[in-house]
Amino acid sequence: MSSEVTRAENEYSKKTHTHSISEITDLNVSLEKKADKEYVASKLEKKADKEYVDEKDNEIKERAEWYHEWTSKILKTKADTGWVSGCLDLKADKTYVNDELEKKANKTHTHTSFTTVRADDIILNFDLGSSAPLENPSTSVKDTLNNLDKSCRNIESHARNFEAYELPAMLDKKADKTELQTLKTEILQTLYPIGSIYTSMNSTNPETVLGFGTWTQIVDRFLYCANSSKETGGSKTISGENLPAHSHYIDLSTSQAGWHSHRFWDWSGMTKGKGYD
């Protein structure tokens, strides 16, 4: 209890008259600084006992030390990570080895025959040796293949058995595949420059056919010829005035007796000579 309250009680015991609480100086201010008893009690219920906390703390420390000792023993029995990685680097990948072995022929297997191949598919790659002639030899490709140490026997010449020295000259007359494709594209680009119109009866995109360009299909428009000022291209949406003069007629008849009516489109609002008659 504050000193003001104590002083008030002492004064009360000395005197016979009484004072109201509001007359005590700073009493409300002093009471505002005091904690509520029930609130303090509820908060204390949520706090752990100090001795209990100390006991659990010691228990946790002992358990942590035991786990540390046990983990150290386990780690000592494990291999060093760097050493294991080094050993693994020296090993071949199992999948890679199996794939490479699949590409190899069986050592004990012998071919008794083979499929006929074209001369275009054969690549000659052998050393002529120190005694090789200085001039282009006149030996044919067929004879060259048969005379190799590991030769292919019984080669039949179903085409012209050209001479080996003729091969470079013959190859010089052949067009390069890439050059042909480039030339084809350049010709088509000359025929169909930007702004060209490609006409086809099917729906295949011209880019698929020609191999170049970005093409946009003409929809809801039609082509028309150049006018007197030589202007070309573009499109035009027509109105009634663009239509040639024509007529619309209606012929109504009925087999029913009695009064009745027929509805039809009223053309009276159209202007004669502006595409209507």
What is the average per-residue pLDDT within 156-184? 69
pLDDT > 70 fraction of the chain, expressed in percent and rounded: 45
pLDDT at 205: 92
259 lies in a domain? no
* Alpha carbons 18 and 31: distance in angstroms, whole number: 20
More confident residue, 25 or 95: 95
pTM of the model as a whole = 0.26
148 lies in a domain? yes
pLDDT at 218: 83
pLDDT at 74: 76
Residue 119, Cβ neighbours under 10 Å: how many?
A: 16
- Domain membership of residue 148 as a residue range: 139-171
For residue 130, pLDDT beyond 70: no
11 lies in a domain? yes
> What percentage of the chain's residues is helix, strand, coil (to nearest 5)?
40, 0, 55
Using CA atoms, how far residue 267 sits from 239, 271, 277, in Å, is 16, 9, 9
Residue 206, Cβ neighbours under 10 Å: how many?
A: 20
207 lies in a domain? yes
pLDDT > 90 fraction of the chain, expressed in percent and rounded: 3
* 186 shares a domain with 158: no
Contact, 207 vs 237, CB < 8 A? no
More confident residue, 23 or 247: 247
Contact, 151 vs 145, CB < 8 A? yes
What is the average per-residue pLDDT within 249-258? 67
More confident residue, 65 or 140: 65
* 149 shares a domain with 161: yes
* 192 shares a domain with 179: yes
Fill in the DSSP letter of residue 267. -
Q: How many domains does the chain have?
A: 3
pLDDT at 127: 53
* 184 shares a domain with 214: yes
